[in-house]
Amino acid sequence: MNTYMAPSLPKESQELIDDIASSVALAALLDRAKRHSTGPNATDRRREQCRVSQKSFRERKKKEREGIETTVQSLEEEVQRLEVQKAQLVRCVPLSTILVHQPDFDGGVNMEALSCDVMKTDDGAIVRGVTKSTLKMNRQSINLFFPNCPDCLKPSLIGQNLVVIATMHWSFDEHDVLTLLSGRADFTNGLLALLRNPDDVEAVLARSRIIPPVVTHAPPASLNATAPADTTSFKMHVDFLQS
C-alpha cells in the first residue's frame, strides 16, 4: 500500500503556526471585534450616520429653496423694470391709427355754407348765404330759445341734434366793415323731424325767442380819418331782400 507523506515544515515555522492558533490574545481580540460589529455601539453609529445624512439632505434642500426664491425675486424685479421701460417707449412711439377724434370745443354747433351770393352796391357789398346749422339740444339751449316749451316735450329734445336751415345776410360798407347781420331760420322743419307732431312743434314754438326773426347789428367799427363824415355803421338794411 502506498502512503503519501506531506513535506515537513521547518521547526520554527511550525512553532509559529501553533502559537498563533493557540494564542489567547488573538482569540480575545477576535471575539471583541465580533461583539463590536454586532453590539449596541454599531446601532448607535448607524443612527448617527442617518442623522448626519438627513441633516445634510435638509441643508442641501434649504439652500436649493433659497436659491429658487432669490431667482424668482430677481425675475419679478426685472419684469417690473421692463414694464416701466415698455411704458416709456410706448409713449415715445407715434400712433399709426387714430383711436379717437376730438372735435373742436364749439359748444355742439356746426354750420355749413350751402350757397353764397354777393351783391355790390355803391356803398359796399351785401352777402346772402344759405346756412345749415346743427344745434345739440340740452336744457340750457331749450330754456334759451324755447322758454315756454312744455316739460313733457323736453325729454324728446334733450340730446337731439336740431338741424336749422337759415338765410343770412351780411352787409358791408365801402370800407368792407360789417354793418348789419340779419337772417331768417327755419326751426319748424327741424323740430318736426324730432317731434313728428305739428301740435308739439307749435307748442314748442309758442312765444319762443326766435319769432319774429331777430336782427342783430354789428358793433360800430372805427373808420379811417379819410372816411366821409356822414358815413354811418347802420345805413344799410336788408329786410327787403328776405323772402
Q: What is the mean pLDDT of each successive set of 10 residues along the chain, which is 243 residues long?
A: 52 62 66 63 80 89 92 91 83 62 56 62 75 88 88 90 88 80 86 90 83 48 41 33 33
Q: Classify residue 50 as exposed, middle or buried by CB count within 10 Å of its CB (0-12, 13-18, 19+).
A: exposed
Q: Half-sphere exposure (CA, 13 Å, Cβ side) for 190?
A: 19
Measured between alpha carbons, how far is 224 from 96 in angstroms, rounded to an integer?
Answer: 52
Sheet strands side by side (includes 125-136): 109-120, 125-136, 161-172, 178-186
Residue 124 sits at the vertex; the CA angle it makes with 123 and 125, to the nearest 5 degrees, is 145
List helix spans (H) across the chain.
Answer: 11-21, 24-38, 40-92, 139-145, 154-157, 187-195, 198-205
Phi, psi of 232 (to 5 degrees): -125, 155
d(CA 110, CA 195): 21
Which residue, among 215, 241, 229, has the nearest Cα to 125 in the 3D structure?
241
User: 161-172 and 178-186 as β-strands: parallel, antiparallel, unpaired?
Assistant: antiparallel
Report the distance separating Cα 114 and Cα 119, nearest Å.
Answer: 17
Predicted confidence at residue 78, as pLDDT, reads 92
pTM over 0.75? The answer is no
